[in-house]
């Protein structure tokens, strides 16, 4: 029996073996993962066979509790289909990033 493939959740940090870097899972469509740098930036596509759990040291990121709170609320609103709330949280993250992380 073949091994069960690794299936990360949206928002999880993963290791992209093809690019040799850590990315945050933004979406999974058309048998490809959409990843972006943990601090934000341009997304890229990764094949499922290139995705691995993040090595523990690489997965550490500086913790801003407000970023974590806004991101968790955004993912919850998105999963619930509340697009208005998700949009408001995207704007809140932008304001927070400009003020707290210039």
| pLDDT digits 0-9 by tens, 31-70 | 899 999 887 789 999 999 999 988 764 444 556 778 878 8
Cβ-contact 72, 79 below 8 angstroms: no
Residue 46: the pLDDT is: 95
The mean pLDDT value of the chain amounts to 84
Query: Which letter does DSSP use for residue 54 in this model?
Result: P
Options 1.10.1060, 2.30.30, 2.60.220, 1.20.120; CATH of 1-61:
2.30.30
Q: Classify burial at 68, counting beta carbons within 10 Å of its beta carbon; exposed 0-12, middle 13-18, buried 19 or more.
A: exposed
DSSP 48: G
pLDDT at 78: 84
Assess contact for 46 and 52: CB atoms under 8 A: no
Residue 75 Rama label (left phi>0; alpha psi -120 to 50; beta): alpha
Say if residue 102's pLDDT is above 80. Answer: no
């Amino acid at each position: 029996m073949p091994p069960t493939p690794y299936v990360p959740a949206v928002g999880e940090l993963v290791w992209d073996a093809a690019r040799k870097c850590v990315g945050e899972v933004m979406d999974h469509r058309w048998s490809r993962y959409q990843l972006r740098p943990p601090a934000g930036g341009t997304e890229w596509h990764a094949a499922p066979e290139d995705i691995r759990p993040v090595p523990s040291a690489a997965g550490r990121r500086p913790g801003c509790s407000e970023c974590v709170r806004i991101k968790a609320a955004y993912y919850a609103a998105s999963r619930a289909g509340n697009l208005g709330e998700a949009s408001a949280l995207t704007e809140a993250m932008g304001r927070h990033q400009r003020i707290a992380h210039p």
